[in-house]
Amino acid sequence: MDKNMGKNVREGIKKIAPYVPGKPMEELQRAYGLDIEKIIKLASNENPMGPSPRAAEAVRKCAGKISRYPESSGYYLTNKLAETLRVSPDNIILGSGSSEIISMAMEILINQGEEVIYPDPSFLIYRILARKIGAVPVEIPLKGDFSYDMDMFLDKITDKTKVIILCNPNNPTGTVIYKKQMENFMAKVPDRILIVSDEAYNEYVENENAGTAFPYFEEKNVVIARTFSKIYGLAGLRIGYGIAKSDIAGFMERIRPPFNTTVPAQEAALAALDDKEYAEKSFKNNIEGKYYLYGELKKLGTEYLPTEANFILCRFKTGAADIINKLEKRGIIIRNMEGIGTGYARITIGTPEENAILINALREVIKESV
């Protein structure tokens, strides 16, 4: 790049702090000479059970087709999702992960200088996407217990507000918007605003009172972003989808990058939707792991936040960085969340073996850190 090019780069882009993903297993392997097979990654809220065998088989089967572009509209997957969700295919739009759905939903509406409201702490991509399109980010703090203050979202609406993003369950807290809160919010939010409901962890929710934006998408202006990266175990294939009224979905379709979802991703997603047994096993593994970790974290005297997702936000009394570093030397990766406050870290719920190894390691590491 010309060394003066930086001067021409948009101010909003210069303000972006690059997204830092969970540490890759390969990095630990290189740093500490560890056996990659033994490294436990509990840092990116992936499905710890590996992919559905049916999805993996679908990928193998389509290997001979990858010299061709995919069918851009994802006809079969769109129809299958429509049938599963009992909506029209016009209500479905496919994305390269649900992040792309969120991005497209913002792009169809927001002009430079207009506002997008979203929770804080939450998924860091919202801030990056807002800056990318020159929007003004308006961050609404969660309450002290990390629950949602929906009135504050409504209070912060101005003439410039175009989009409100809700993250439900919220990453990294695992907290939800309850049905009643959602109902009140939807009744009050002006129709000119697009609600983007990021429901990446929806399938893990256990609490019956937790809400979703799904009942409102036909009546209000809503885009629901869901993903195959989590309970369907396809994070590496990058595939997600949006649910919206057909006019909104149609506008998003105009800016959807051609061929944004790949042949293997579409085939694997179709197979994953059919593999109910895998999704049920993943759900059960998560619930069992969650209660096991609650019990063990409590015994270790580590504060944690009850979760409706596949991760747990916890707080280490002696700070998070040192604990995380020591865990990494033992081949275990969790996510530093000290951006929220001292001691915070996020643990993805693993398999029973992974959870037990983590707890044993934590027991030693916490002892060393006091």
- Tell the residue number behind the tokens 């851009």, with chain if given: 72
CA 236 from centroid of its chain's CA atoms: 14
User: Token digits for 311?
Assistant: 């991760």
Give the nearest distance from C-beta 172 to ligand PLP in angstroms: 8
Q: CB-hemisphere CA count at 13 Å for 350?
A: 18
Q: Give how many residues touch ligand PLP by CB under 6 A.
A: 13
Phi, psi of 351 (to 5 degrees): -75, 165
As a whole number of angstroms, the distance between CA 204 and CA 288 comes to 12
Segment lying near ligand PLP (by CB under 6 A), choices 154-162, 207-215, 227-235, 358-366: 227-235
The Cβ of residue 69 has, within 10 Å, a number of other Cβ atoms equal to 10
Residue facing ligand PLP at closest CB distance = 97
- Tell the residue number behind the tokens 């604990």, with chain if given: 323
Q: Which of 186, 235, 321, 356 binds ligand PLP (CB under 6 A)?
A: 235
User: Are the beta carbons of 31 and 228 closer than 8 angstroms?
Assistant: no
Give the nearest distance from C-beta 102 to ligand PLP in angstroms: 7
Q: Does 124 bind ligand PLP (CB under 6 A)?
A: no
Please, which residue, 349 or 361, has the CB nearer to ligand PLP?
349
Q: Which of 103, 229, 336, 348 binds ligand PLP (CB under 6 A)?
A: 229
What is the x/- site pattern for ligand PLP, positions 182-221, by CB under 6 A? Answer: ----------------x-x---------------------
The Cβ of residue 353 has, within 10 Å, a number of other Cβ atoms equal to 10
Q: Which of 167, 195, 222, 244 binds ligand PLP (CB under 6 A)?
A: 167
| DSSP states along 89-121 | GGGEEEESSHHHHHHHHHHTTPPTT-EEEEEES
Q: Does 81 bind ligand PLP (CB under 6 A)?
A: no
Segment lying near ligand PLP (by CB under 6 A), choices 50-58, 83-91, 96-104, 149-157: 96-104
Give the nearest distance from C-beta 104 to ligand PLP in angstroms: 12
CA 364 from centroid of its chain's CA atoms: 31
As a whole number of angstroms, the distance between CA 198 and CA 200 comes to 6
Please, which residue, 265 or 324, has the CB nearer to ligand PLP?
265
Q: Which of 39, 45, 307, 365 binds ligand PLP (CB under 6 A)?
A: 45
Please, which residue, 175 or 229, has the CB nearer to ligand PLP?
229
Please, which residue, 91 or 168, has the CB nearer to ligand PLP?
168
Q: Does 123 bind ligand PLP (CB under 6 A)?
A: yes
Q: Does 39 bind ligand PLP (CB under 6 A)?
A: no
3-state secondary structure of 178: strand
Give the pairing of strands 194-198 and 161-167.
Answer: parallel
Taking alpha carbons only, the member of 177, 163, 263, 273 closest to residue 227 is 273
Residues near ligand PLP (CB under 6 A): 45, 97-99, 123, 167, 171, 198, 200, 227, 229, 235, 240
